[in-house]
Amino acid sequence: MSNIFHKIVTKKVQMDLIYEDDMVIAFNDINPISSTHILILPKTFIATLDDIQEKHEKILGRMLFVTAKIAKQKHLNRDGYRVVINCKQHGRQEIFYLHMHLLGGRKGTKKFY
């Protein structure tokens, strides 16, 4: 698969690893839009949020759990942070491999980039 996030998950392309377990992986975004910008991905390929199925419930739960855990580790929880999933063209999704953005470290604007 030529998808860049698939290559990252399978360790064919390097990334700045933040967290990894049997279900998810988290790493720094290559082009951060806030002082903390971390991507959280499932190890199982899912193209978009629109492709999730009931069998993915546990993975999705883990993604959220890990996101909150990283936010605590990075001390983002005190002032808050944003978690974003872009879905398909109108959601401005660029990489078609499901991922969540953890954004922290700046005053929030309601607009997402």
Residues in contact with ligand 5GP by the rule CB under 6 A = 4, 15, 27-31, 86, 92-95
Question: Quick one: DSSP state of residue 64?
Answer: H
In angstroms, the CA 93 to CA 35 distance is 21
Tokens encoding 107: 């005053």
Burial of 103 (0-12, 13-18, 19+ CB in 10 A): buried
- Closest contact distance (angstroms) between CB of 18 and ligand 5GP is 10
Which residue number, 71 or 103, has a Cβ lying nearer to ligand 5GP?
103
* Nearer to ligand 5GP among residue 4 and residue 52 (C-beta): 4
Which residues are part of the catalytic machinery? 99
Least distance from ligand 5GP to the Cβ atom of residue 1, Å: 14
Q: How far apart are CA 78 and CA 93, in angstroms?
A: 29
36 vs 93 by CB, closer to ligand 5GP: 93
Q: How far apart are CA 86 and CA 96, in angstroms?
A: 10
